[in-house]
Amino acid sequence: MGRRALPKLDPAIAFSTYISEVDDLQAPFCPQSLFSQTADLEIEIGSGKGLFVLNESGHVPERNFLGNEIAKKYCRFAAYRLAKSERTNAHMLRGDGLKLFRDFLPDECAVAVHVYFPDPWWKERHRRRRVIQPSFIADLQRVLIPNGIFHFWTDVEEYFDEAIELLKEHSDLTGPLAVHETIAEHDMDYRTHFERRMRKYEHDVFRSQFKKS
């Protein structure tokens, strides 16, 4: 399943204030500095076209949402949509999410971390590029506040099983806690674009949640 071409961006919508580069960050980094309000923070790695950050920043305006995406064109598109909707509580960071967690995010800065449909990197020699790996799990545990939640969904059962085992082995997070499928009330009522696509093609989606004590 290839990814559809992105729609054209309206040049009248300025979105440069909605996007920053991971490689331009300086330690120590305070993620709250990206937002106009200081508020509970949710972070997503691999936001793709940004449906999750767009929807959730609208549903929960009292929280801040930081999306992260390595692919420039998707990250720009996600930032553009945030600008178009005039979100003041959402921002996109372009660059490697593993680096963002390893080098920049401070301890206990996030109430939730989200990873949805991460690239499976099927080839054995590419496996180390997977987001769910021991070093990331250590950073995830450090970055979440007590009672913070990690959300992990994928359509790849083998990645799901491996990730659950890694999370059990390398963290004290409680889980996996069950997450049930909800009924979509309209075409944008999905957690992410990939969830919409998987459900449209009736593919399985494996969902989990973990909680930090």
Residues belonging to the active site: 119
Based on the shown chain and the rule CB under 6 A, indicate whether residue 119 belongs to the binding site for ligand SAM: yes
Among 18, 116, 152, 159, binds ligand SAM (CB under 6 A): 116
**Contact (Cβ atoms closer than 8 angstroms) between residue 94 and residue 129:** no
Based on the shown chain and the rule CB under 6 A, indicate whether residue 97 belongs to the binding site for ligand SAM: yes
Angle at 119 between CA 172 and CA 210, to 5 degrees: 20
Tell me whether strands 90-94 and 110-116 are parallel, antiparallel or unpaired: unpaired
Shortest distance in whole angstroms from residue 197 CB to ligand SAM: 8
**Contact (Cβ atoms closer than 8 angstroms) between residue 33 and residue 59:** no
11-19, 39-47, 77-85, 159-167 -> range binding ligand SAM (CB under 6 A): 39-47
Shortest distance in whole angstroms from residue 12 CB to ligand SAM: 26
Among 43, 70, 109, 113, binds ligand SAM (CB under 6 A): 70
Shortest distance in whole angstroms from residue 100 CB to ligand SAM: 7
Among 57, 64, 68, 208, binds ligand SAM (CB under 6 A): 68
**Coil, strand, or helix at residue 16?**
helix
Based on the shown chain and the rule CB under 6 A, indicate whether residue 118 belongs to the binding site for ligand SAM: yes
Instruction: Classify residue 176 by its DSSP letter.
Output: E
Shortest distance in whole angstroms from residue 16 CB to ligand SAM: 20
Those residues with Cβ within 8 angstroms of residue 114's Cβ, 6 or more apart along the chain or in another chain: 42, 43, 44, 45, 52, 150, 151
Calculate helix-pair angle for 51-59, 72-84, nearest 10 degrees: 30
**Binding positions for ligand SAM, rule: CB under 6 A:** 45-48, 68-71, 74, 96-98, 116-119, 131, 192-194
